[in-house]
Amino acid sequence: MIEEENRLTITRGETMVVEISKLDEKGSGQAVIWRKNEQGNPKKLRLTIPQTLLGEKVKVTVDKPERRRRKAMAEEILESHPERIGPACPHFEKCGGCVWQHWDYQGQIQQKTNHVKEAIKAQGFDPNLVRNTIGMDEPWHYRNKMEFTFAPDGSMGLHEQGNFRKVISLETCLIAGKEMVEAAMEVADWAKHHQLTGYNKDAHEGLLRHLMVRQSFATGEIMLALFATEGPEAHLKEVADDLVKRISGKFPQVKSLLWLENTQWADRTQSEKSHVLAGRDFIYDEMDGYRFRLWFDTFFQTNPTQAQKLVDLAIEQAQPKKTEKMIDLFCGVGTFSLPFANAVGELVGIEIVETSIESAKRNAKDNGIFNTSFLAKDARKGFDQVIEEFGRPELLLLDPPRSGAGGKVMRRIGRSKPERIVYVSCNPDTFATDIKELEQFGYVLNVVQPVDLFPHTVHVECVAQLTLI
């Protein structure tokens, strides 16, 4: 047994060899060490060791071994996993943007399939209903949105793995679109040239906080949104003008250059006042032949290649008919609503974020779709209202956040008895818990198709179909 092999007595700062027995929910390896307490009895210490794989033997040094759980970095890989590879990115060992660049992509895909199977098996479902995960032909430069952070010294990058107080300065990023990275590096050079300070989270001082970069892979349009603690007026006007000059001269595809004021202590990309330095305050994107307007705070799938597969799978599993009514729960800006609207008789979308609902309405109008209506309410209250006014739908699609829809929402869905339910999930564990609630109402799970939208990370999406018996 692996745990027996790691049974030993350790002292503070001792170096040892351990074997990785499993991977945790963040993708890091875990090992178990047994040690003796003051009474001489065995006590378990769980070690979390990032960038390791199942079965590997590694050398680590543990500080504070009296604790129950500690994190340590592998000092040497003594016996490596056969699927271990060299990371492609020079920042991988420190940057928190990816966790699995040391793992062959096919191994990542298999792990994600296993994760979904284990999640539904834990709730009593047949794991054989889970198909193999659909991966990417080219699992690099797939993201159409990135949020970079400024360090107090003004350098720009991503947070260190497991440490949101430290920013790793970047020269490149292999998961973001190439043009996005080039534009972001130009902003970083601009900040360095003018010796602009970054925001200090502890002292709550400094100018620059974040840079959000979005690009439509369909239209090529780019948005650069700079978040700062002050507006670009007065003493900052010259540096703002220089930013416009730099970006306009080198990146004509930037159609939206924004300066957004954020004085709140919360470390989020939010805005109290917006300034359009150049272009407009949104960019155009397209998916499945439909055009969408994206503002800085618009939620939109960040991997357009795989997101298209999600839409196609959802339609395939839903089997929509022109005679049917449909509810799109957690509809966002209408990513699924628009393609489904052309396949059903009438569709109602429900979403708690009012700006998203306004965008959904505008997107439907822009695309000449007039058999939709959208309601800005939370899922529970909105669902009750729609059922009362709209009646029982034959088809329901839900795409909830990582926390899932929750038991109360799922039971409401079950009581409304749509003939078919398509669940699009970004968290296999909450997905499995949610659909368990539907069994009591006579629903059966038919198929689960995982899709990899985030290569080199632990995240996996899935599309599932349930039918009413």
Would you please indicate which residues are annotated as catalytic (active-site) residues? 426
d(CA 169, CA 190): 14
In order of 36, 46, 469, the CA distances from 11 in angstroms are 10, 15, 60
- Decide: 6 and 18 in contact? Cβ < 8 Å: yes
CB atoms within 10 A of CB 69: 10
Q: How many other C-beta atoms can be found within 10 angstroms of the C-beta atom of residue 270?
A: 15
Q: Which amino acid is at 357?
A: I
Pairwise CA distance, residues 364 & 342, whole Å: 11
Cα–Cα distance between 342 and 49 in angstroms, integer?
49
CA distances from 365 to 193, 219, 276, 328, 338 (A): 44, 19, 25, 17, 10
Q: Is 195 exposed, middle or buried (0-12, 13-18, 19+ CB in 10 A)?
A: exposed
**How many residues are listed for the chain in this entry?**
469
Listing DSSP states for 46-106 in one string gives: EEEETT--TT-EEEEEES-TTSSEEE---SEEEE--TTB---SSTTTTTBSS-S-TTB-HH
**Residue 66 backbone dihedrals phi, psi, to 5 degrees:** -75, -15
Q: CA separation (Å) from 154 to 89, 190, 200, 209?
A: 23, 10, 10, 9
| Residue 33: both structure tokens together | 């060490």
Q: Round to whole Å and give the CA distance between 270 and 262.
A: 6
